[in-house]
């Protein structure tokens, strides 16, 4: 499995509209439980997506039924985010371009769904797509209504909760096969391109969905490494994690050096060729 960062928010109050929309997915004022969020994400594998309609950034409406018959990649974004969501989208763009080269330019579709309502409007999503340089005809930036957002997020296992200043949420790309069945989750804002291309290729071959059972150490570290800064309006790296890790590593290094120095001291030869400890014992 690739990485699973949680975009982690802190700061000023969440707009009431955003809170009202996200509360069914998680109660306001709660933190997102990463274990439960990952369990829900993996638990969505095997789900069949319902029939939903979205406002399209290009104008008009897009229905999921229009995208059936080909695999589909689904990501959730937050247009007010200036780091994690753009990074995820650019990584996804590179993976999509690689997959198009390997599997064919018209072999699958992509949707990016804005979940910070009402702010992630079709106009905001159109501006976001332009900023990320996404101009692919098979990639749609979609704005749901609140009820559709809740149902669709549940179906694909996307979890988020409003917190002071924004949201805690899972960063994932959901792979859906041509029948509308969720077959895989790819996690992280900088996932390996091969992870998504391989999952997409399996969806094209209609292979049975498989759930992941474990997370690597890197995944667990990255889960905790980003947070939302409401002052700047950006997701930032959580440097406190690095400080904690550095402090722990420093303590280990200092202890190791101390033990090594003590060991060398006991093994250092005295003037008569015996060890320093032996010399000290022999000395009256």
Angle between helix 122-131 and helix 84-103 axes, rounded to 10 deg: 70
**What strands lie across the sheet with 182-187, from one edge to the other?**
61-63, 53-56, 139-143, 109-114, 72-77, 172-176, 182-187
Higher pLDDT, 96 or 188: 96
pLDDT attached to residue 129: 95
| Nearest-angstrom CA–CA distance, 80 and 57 | 16
Domain borders along the chain are 6-237, 240-282
What tens digit of pLDDT does each residue of 218-258 get? 344 343 344 444 444 444 444 444 444 455 566 566 666 76
DSSP states of 176-213: E-TTSBEEEEEESSS--HHHHHHHHHHHHTTPPP----
Q: Please give the structure tokens belonging to residue 173.
A: 């790309």
Global pTM?
A: 0.68
Q: How far is CA 56 from CA 14, 60, 140, in A?
A: 25, 6, 7
Between residues 64 and 24, which one has the greater pLDDT? Answer: 64
What is the predicted pLDDT for the residue at 212?
A: 62
Q: Residue 138: which of 58, 84, 60 has the closest Cα?
A: 58
Closest CA to 109 of 81, 72, 142: 72
The whole-number average pLDDT for the span 251-280 is 60
User: Please, which residues have CB within 8 angstroms of residue 96's CB and are 6 or more apart in sequence?
Assistant: 73, 110, 136, 139
List the one residue out of 118, 137, 134, 115 whose CA is nearest residue 126.
134
Helix (H, G, I), strand (E, B) or coil at 236: strand
- Looking at domain 6-237, does it have CATH number 3.30.420.40? no
Instruction: Give mean pLDDT, residues 114-139.
Output: 94
Most confident region among 1-5, 131-135, 190-194 by mean pLDDT = 131-135
168 compared with 250, residue with greater pLDDT: 168
152 or 262: which leads in pLDDT? 152
Please give the biggest Cα pair distance in the chain. Answer: 97
Give pLDDT, residue 148.
Answer: 96
């Amino acid at each position: 499995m690739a990485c699973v960062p949680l975009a982690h928010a802190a700061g000023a109050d969440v707009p009431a509209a955003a809170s009202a929309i996200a509360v069914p997915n998680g109660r306001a004022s709660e933190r997102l439980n990463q274990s439960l969020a990952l369990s829900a994400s993996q638990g969505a594998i095997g789900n069949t997506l319902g029939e939903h309609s979205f406002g399209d950034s290009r104008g008009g409406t897009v229905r999921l039924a229009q995208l059936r018959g080909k695999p589909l990649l689904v990501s959730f974004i937050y247009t007010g985010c200036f780091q994690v969501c753009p990074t995820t989208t650019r990584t996804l763009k590179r993976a999509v371009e690689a997959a198009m080269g390997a599997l064919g330019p018209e072999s699958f579709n992509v949707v990016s769904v804005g979940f910070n309502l009402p702010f992630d409007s079709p106009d905001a999503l159109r501006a976001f797509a332009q900023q990320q340089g996404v101009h692919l005809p098979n990639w749609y930036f979609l704005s749901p209504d609140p009820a559709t957002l809740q149902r669709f997020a549940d179906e694909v296992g996307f979890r988020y909760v409003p917190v002071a200043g924004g949201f805690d949420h899972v960063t994932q790309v959901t792979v859906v096969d041509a029948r509308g069945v969720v077959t895989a989750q790819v996690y992280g804002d900088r996932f390996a391109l091969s992870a998504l291309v391989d999952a997409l290729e399996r969806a094209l071959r209609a292979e049975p969905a498989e759930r992941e059972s474990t997370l690597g150490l890197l995944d667990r570290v990255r889960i905790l490494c980003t947070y939302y800064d409401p002052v700047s309006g950006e997701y930032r790296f959580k440097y406190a994690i690095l400080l904690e890790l550095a402090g722990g590593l420093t303590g280990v290094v200092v202890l190791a050096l101390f033990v090594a120095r003590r060991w060398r001291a006991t093994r250092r030869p005295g003037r008569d060729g015996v060890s320093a400890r032996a010399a000290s014992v022999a000395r009256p």
